[in-house]
Each structure stands twice: as C-alpha cells, then as structure tokens.
Amino acid sequence: RKEVEQDPGPFNVPEGATVAFNCTYSNSASQSFFWYRQDCRKEPKLLMSVYSSGNEDGRFTAQLNRASQYISLLIRDSKLSDSATYLCVVNYINTDKLIFGTGTRLQVFP
C-alpha cells in the first residue's frame, strides 16, 4: 500500500465549477500536511499547508481528518489557470522527508 494515495484523475471540469480532491495517508506518525501544485514539466510549488482546524486561502479550502487519516482540497469557482496536477504531501515527526502522492490532474475547460 502506498503511503499517500490519491485518485490520479483526470478531473475535467468547466470554468466556475467546484471540484474536490481527496487523499489518504497510511502512517499515523505523519505530522505536517501540504498541497503542492505542479504544472506540466515544472517543479512542485506549495499551494497551502493543511491544519486540523481546516484552512482557507481565497478559492481554496483544505481539510485534515487525523482520525481517518484523510486530507481534502476544495477549489471553488475554477479558473482555466487552475489546470495542473495537485500533489498531496505529508511528512513525519522530526524529519523534512516529504512523502508525495502520485498527484491528481485537473483540467478546467472553457
């Protein structure tokens, strides 16, 4: 079983739609949680950290459920520029080792 699991997609949604991605992680020692965005043939870039209380950044909302070992990302009012791969990332206590999921590909169409 992979340490971080994501649906690879692709998710094809029209502009203005709301889309949600889910991610599960297997190691309960995971301490920090992130969503990274990766454009085609580019490096991953931090989108947002994920906190237990849930957090929002503009059109993006991230949720963490430690009991279920589950992370989510909600994108509202999708833009064409949101088209990318979204990587779910966890790391463990006392390390900087990031564990990435395979990524979920989003394609927003006009």
Partner 1 sequence: DAGVTQSPTHLIKTRGQHVTLRCSPISGHKSVSWYQQVLGQGPQFIFQYYEKEERGRGNFPDRFSARQFPNYSSELNVNALLLGDSALYLCASSLVFTGGDQPQHFGDGTRLSIL
**Which residues lie near partner 1 (CB under 8 A)?**
4, 31-32, 34, 41-46, 49, 87, 89, 91-103
> Of 19 and 87, which has the nearer Cβ to partner 1?
87
Beta strands in 15-82 (DSSP E): 19-25, 30-38, 44-50, 55-57, 60-65, 70-75
CA torsion angle 12 17 83 108 (round to 10):
50
> Of 10 and 16, which has the nearer Cβ to partner 1?
10
Measured between alpha carbons, how far is 14 from 36 in angstroms, rounded to an integer? 22
CB of 33 to partner 1, least distance (A): 9
CB of 34 to partner 1, least distance (A): 7
> Of 14 and 53, which has the nearer Cβ to partner 1?
53
CB of 43 to partner 1, least distance (A): 4
Per-residue tokens: 12: 């094809």
